[in-house]
Copies of this chain bind each other. A is one copy, B any other.
Amino acid sequence: MFAEIITIGDELLIGQVVDTNSAWMGRELNRIGIEVVRVTSVRDRKKEILDAVDSALQRAGLVLMTGGLGPTKDDITKQTLCQYFGTRLVFSEEVFRNIQHVLAGRIPMNALNRSQAYVPENAVILPNRVGSAPVTWFEKDGSVLVSLPGVPQEMTTVMTEEVIPRLREKFHTDFILHRSFMVKNYPESVLAEKLQAWEELLPDCIKLAYLPKPGWMRLRLTARGRRKPELNLLLDEEGQKLKAILGEDLYADREQAPEVLLGEILSEKGLTVATAESCTGGNMAARITSVAGSSAYFKGSIVAYANQVKEDLLGVLPETLEKYGAVSRQTVIEMVKGAMDTLKTDCALATSGIAGPAGGTPDKPVGTVWIAVACKNEIFTFLQQGDRGREMNIERACNKALIMLSDALE
């Protein structure tokens, strides 16, 4: 079973908005055995939308579309689909009541919102309990096209509650199963060389992919076929072989963001954590608290951008800053100890570095980041080097620190 996704909106093409919808949809469709083979983004132009819809329906049995359903003049998806499917817009009392319900207490109803209650006559209208855009399900010659709102929160709610269950019912499909493996500190080509012999002997129904992330590498095995138990068995077998080859370099044998894994380990061991951040500027705390329920183990952070804050709140000694500088092993060690003391936690992470683009010196070029992680009296440090741009320097340091603490605890 193959699907295509079409995302609509000038803002996607001129790059003012990154299309995150299609990745989310691809992931969810994959879980129920529907494989997305193409994503197409087009502008809010009738001809271009018609073209994309027509070719997608010729190639795939299922087409999901997002965007172009807002109440304003630039949104033309609904009208365009009416033309394609040879139908017209009719006023729906039910959709209108839903719009009234959704907008109640948020904004006053006006003629533009009311226009959203006009829906294609020969389509099934699915409920949208979180927004005013109509969700329409068309069928033609055995193929299905669903038009969804482009606002991510509306799209994900409608997909989860309405579209996915209907797709499960309508289509009976191949199973697609994945296993993910997280590997520490490996350049792609070195890892590929190490895995070459094993990879060449993989069964035909299994495929390996390398997905480099800042600070680590994700490997993904994908199996596809009719019989689920057999696929699981094959994946287990190949997974075992892979683990044996990777040994200690394997960091986790499932797909999991470093902050989620760290959270699980801390919860399991009943430990608390804090961060002391200079160059990562709060990003480690933001990553840790992105996990729902993190308040059980995360107490807080001190973002110490200014040296005075490092001294006042983290107890870094003025002599240390003067002798070794803020970006030094000695300073991050004092920072990580200070975080545990001040915030009264069992563990802590600390960073101090030069994120760039300015601020580098010959001794400490942009991209130099000292990292320390600690659990009680045990402290580990690491020097990250190499400049990959401000954002990436920060992201790599966060990943590295989170992985280091997980490692230290295990």
> For window 351-366 of chain A, which residues contact chain B by CB distance below 8 Å?
355-359
What 7 A-B pairs have minimum CB-CB distances, sorted nearest first?
A: A281-B289, A282-B285, A15-B27, A15-B26, A282-B282, A301-B303, A15-B23
Q: Write out the residue numbers on chain B whose beta carbons fall within 8 Å of the beta carbon of A153.
A: 388-389, 392
* Cβ–Cβ contact A193 & B112, under 8 A: yes
* Cβ–Cβ contact B305 & A309, under 8 A: no
Interface centre among A23, A305, A308, A312 (most CB of B within 10 A): A305
- CB pairs A–B below 8 angstroms (10 shown): A12-B22, A13-B35, A13-B36, A13-B38, A14-B26, A14-B178, A15-B23, A22-B41, A38-B48, A299-B305
Complex alpha-carbon distance, A218 and B14, angstroms: 14
**Does A120 interact with chain B (Cβ within 8 Å)?**
no
The 8 A CB mask of A102-120 against B (1 = contact, 0 = none) is 0000111011110000000
Complex alpha-carbon distance, A300 and B303, angstroms: 5
Q: How many residues of A contact B (CB 8 A)?
A: 107
Q: Write out the residue numbers on chain B whose beta carbons fall within 8 Å of the beta carbon of A40.
A: 38-41
* Cβ–Cβ contact B292 & A282, under 8 A: no
> For window 68-118 of chain A, which residues contact chain B by CB distance below 8 Å?
70-74, 106-108, 110-113
Q: 16 other contacts beyond A38-B42, A40-B41, with CB at 8 A cut-off?
A: A12-B22, A12-B23, A13-B38, A15-B28, A16-B220, A72-B192, A73-B199, A107-B187, A113-B189, A282-B286, A282-B288, A285-B285, A285-B303, A290-B391, A309-B343, A313-B342
**Does A298 interact with chain B (Cβ within 8 Å)?**
yes
**Does A151 interact with chain B (Cβ within 8 Å)?**
yes
> For window 168-224 of chain A, which residues contact chain B by CB distance below 8 Å?
178, 187-190, 192-193, 199, 207-212, 218, 220, 222
* Cβ–Cβ contact A282 & B303, under 8 A: yes
Complex alpha-carbon distance, A220 and B303, angstroms: 36
Which of B17, B20, B38, B192 meets A41, CB within 8 Å?
A: B38
**Does A11 interact with chain B (Cβ within 8 Å)?**
yes
Q: Write out the residue numbers on chain B whose beta carbons fall within 8 Å of the beta carbon of A255.
A: 16
* Cβ–Cβ contact A71 & B188, under 8 A: yes
* Cβ–Cβ contact B299 & A301, under 8 A: no
Residue of B nearest to A109 (CB): B189
Q: Shortest distance in angstroms between A44's beta carbon and chain B's nearest beta carbon? A: 8
* Cβ–Cβ contact B13 & A70, under 8 A: no
* Cβ–Cβ contact B26 & A70, under 8 A: no
Q: Shortest distance in angstroms between A240's beta carbon and chain B's nearest beta carbon? A: 21
Complex alpha-carbon distance, A1 and B55, angstroms: 23
The 8 A CB mask of A363-404 against B (1 = contact, 0 = none) is 000000000000000000000001011111000000000000
* Cβ–Cβ contact B301 & A302, under 8 A: yes
Q: Shortest distance in angstroms between A304's beta carbon and chain B's nearest beta carbon? A: 5
Complex alpha-carbon distance, A16 and B36, angstroms: 12
Q: Write out the residue numbers on chain B whose beta carbons fall within 8 Å of the beta carbon of A15.
A: 22-28, 30, 36
* Cβ–Cβ contact B309 & A300, under 8 A: yes
Q: Write out the residue numbers on chain B whose beta carbons fall within 8 Å of the beta carbon of A336.
A: none
Complex alpha-carbon distance, A82 and B344, angstroms: 61
Complex alpha-carbon distance, A323 and B111, angstroms: 46
**Does A346 interact with chain B (Cβ within 8 Å)?**
no
Q: Write out the residue numbers on chain B whose beta carbons fall within 8 Å of the beta carbon of A41.
A: 22, 38-40
Residue of B nearest to A7 (CB): B39
Q: Write out the residue numbers on chain B whose beta carbons fall within 8 Å of the beta carbon of A330.
A: none
Which of B70, B151, B187, B300 meets A304, CB within 8 Å?
A: B300
Complex alpha-carbon distance, A147 and B207, angstroms: 24
Complex alpha-carbon distance, A386 and B104, angstroms: 12
* Cβ–Cβ contact B26 & A13, under 8 A: yes
* Cβ–Cβ contact A209 & B10, under 8 A: yes
* Cβ–Cβ contact B281 & A288, under 8 A: yes
Q: Write out the residue numbers on chain B whose beta carbons fall within 8 Å of the beta carbon of A358.
A: 292-293
**Does A283 interact with chain B (Cβ within 8 Å)?**
yes
Q: Shortest distance in angstroms between A143's beta carbon and chain B's nearest beta carbon? A: 19
